[in-house]
Amino acid sequence: MQTPSPRTVVVVVTGMSGAGKSTALRALEDMRFYCVDNLPTPLIRETLDVCAAGHLERVAIGLDVRVRGFFEQSGALLDEIRKRDNLELHVLFLDANDEALLRRYSETRRPHPLSVAEGNDGTAAAVLDGVRSERERLGPLRGRATHIIDTTNLSVHDLRRSIVSMLGPAGQLPRMSTRLLSFGFKYGMPVDADVVFDVRFLDNPHHIPALRDLPGTHPTVASHVLGHPDTTEFLDHARGLLGFALPRYEREGKAYLTVAIGCTGGRHRSVVIAERLADELRFSTGFPIRVVHRDLPRDPKLREDGKRGEP
């Protein structure tokens, strides 16, 4: 029996210029949608055909009045797309009141795509004319919308959360990718860290001759670091904090998160803690967690068995 082809989710992002379409498309791109913007309407059919042939299961298309002469075909195109087999169509319409749109255009100093003439007080009247004309032309698309978001009082973060909530139901999107990065403070802090833990207060295996030349990935070093009561208590606190924070970072719309754990040289304590936290958080949260030891390879003479080779 042949397995049926998966349904392609297509989100058409449209609405008033200045209402947040670029933010919406970026949010969808972070949600693993293939995004394309400002296509002439006739090319949208071909784009969907090509995406289907390439087995892309999430596609987002920006559609607005910038396509000018092609825009009048948009309503009929959406009706045609909706009838396609193995395709799930969402039409996301972004709106805002005239005052908010005028304020945003004033802040960005960009012309409205439908502004045709300046008023007596500069570009403000032209923008208002463009907004009113655009609102009238977008009426048929607004009537076909499956989701409408009024962004008048929303920040970009609020809009992002709304889109994730509407179009990112649990189980259909990849989970937030989390990276636990061990590092040594003496080589500098990682610039891409979202959360940083400093574990230099833990007992340092570097001061024990039998452990000095072993990496933190060695069972003997791990046993030594994890055997201290301070380590146990720290892991309890860190696990509780990250277990609380990770789902909320994901709900905020983050696609990836870096948690950095630092000790002096990045070879012992931070390595052990990163490995143990990753194991425990994978089990307790279900997030895909990757461990990277940034500074462990810095000593070319260090070997897993603790023996040093020749320089």
- Domain of 135, CATH number, reads 3.40.50.300
| Euclidean distance between CA atoms 296 and 294, whole angstroms | 6
Q: Which of 74-88, 191-205, 227-241 has the lowest mean pLDDT?
A: 74-88
Instruction: Based on the fold, state whether residues 120 and 187 are members of the same structural domain.
Output: no
pLDDT band at 171 (very low <50, low <70, confident <90, very high): very low
Q: How many domains does the chain have?
A: 2
| Euclidean distance between CA atoms 71 and 48, whole angstroms | 18
Name the token pair of 239: 């696990």
Instruction: Based on the fold, state whether residues 199 and 279 are members of the same structural domain.
Output: yes
Residue 35 within a domain: yes
Residue 245 within a domain: yes
Residue 60 within a domain: yes
- Residue 48: φ, ψ to 5°: -65, -35
Instruction: Based on the fold, state whether residues 128 and 207 are members of the same structural domain.
Output: no
Residue 190 DSSP SS3 = coil
CA 159 to chain centroid, in Å, comes to 13
Strand order in the sheet with 8-15: 34-37, 58-62, 8-15, 87-95, 147-150
Instruction: Based on the fold, state whether residues 24 and 143 are members of the same structural domain.
Output: yes
102, 128 Cβ separation under 8 angstroms: yes
Residue 99 within a domain: yes
Instruction: For residue 100, give Cα distances in angstroms to 34, 112, 120, 127, 278.
Output: 29, 14, 21, 12, 45
Mean of pLDDT over the chain: 82
Instruction: Based on the fold, state whether residues 145 and 194 are members of the same structural domain.
Output: no
pLDDT at 91 over 50: yes
Instruction: Based on the fold, state whether residues 47 and 193 are members of the same structural domain.
Output: no
Residue 3 within a domain: no
Range(s) of the domain holding residue 213? 177-298
Instruction: Based on the fold, state whether residues 162 and 238 are members of the same structural domain.
Output: no
Highest mean pLDDT among 44-53, 57-66, 290-299: 290-299
The residue out of 112, 145, 167 marking a domain boundary is 167
Instruction: Based on the fold, state whether residues 123 and 150 are members of the same structural domain.
Output: yes
pLDDT band at 161 (very low <50, low <70, confident <90, very high): confident
Instruction: Based on the fold, state whether residues 85 and 219 are members of the same structural domain.
Output: no
Q: Which of 46-60, 63-77, 227-241, 296-310 has the lowest mean pLDDT?
A: 296-310
Q: Which among 91, 94, 96 has a CA at the least distance from the CA of 146?
A: 91
288, 65 Cβ separation under 8 angstroms: no
93, 24 Cβ separation under 8 angstroms: no
Instruction: Based on the fold, state whether residues 96 and 237 are members of the same structural domain.
Output: no
Calculate mean pLDDT across residues 299-303: 57
Q: How many CA atoms lie within 13 A of 279 on its CB side?
A: 6
Instruction: Based on the fold, state whether residues 185 and 155 are members of the same structural domain.
Output: no
Instruction: Based on the fold, state whether residues 227 and 82 are members of the same structural domain.
Output: no
Residue 5 has a pLDDT of: 54
Calculate mean pLDDT across residues 70-88: 77
Residue 19 DSSP SS3 = coil
Residue 306 within a domain: no
The residue out of 167, 192, 210 marking a domain boundary is 167
The residue out of 167, 202, 228 marking a domain boundary is 167
Strand order in the sheet with 195-198: 195-198, 256-263, 177-184, 289-293
Please indicate whether residue 288 or residue 265 has the higher confidence score (pLDDT): 265
H/E segment holding residue 263: strand 256-263
Residue 249 has a pLDDT of: 86
H/E segment holding residue 90: strand 87-95
| Rg, the chain, Cα only | 27
pLDDT at 305 over 70: no
pLDDT band at 259 (very low <50, low <70, confident <90, very high): very high
How many Å from the N-terminal Cα to the C-terminal Cα in the chain?
62
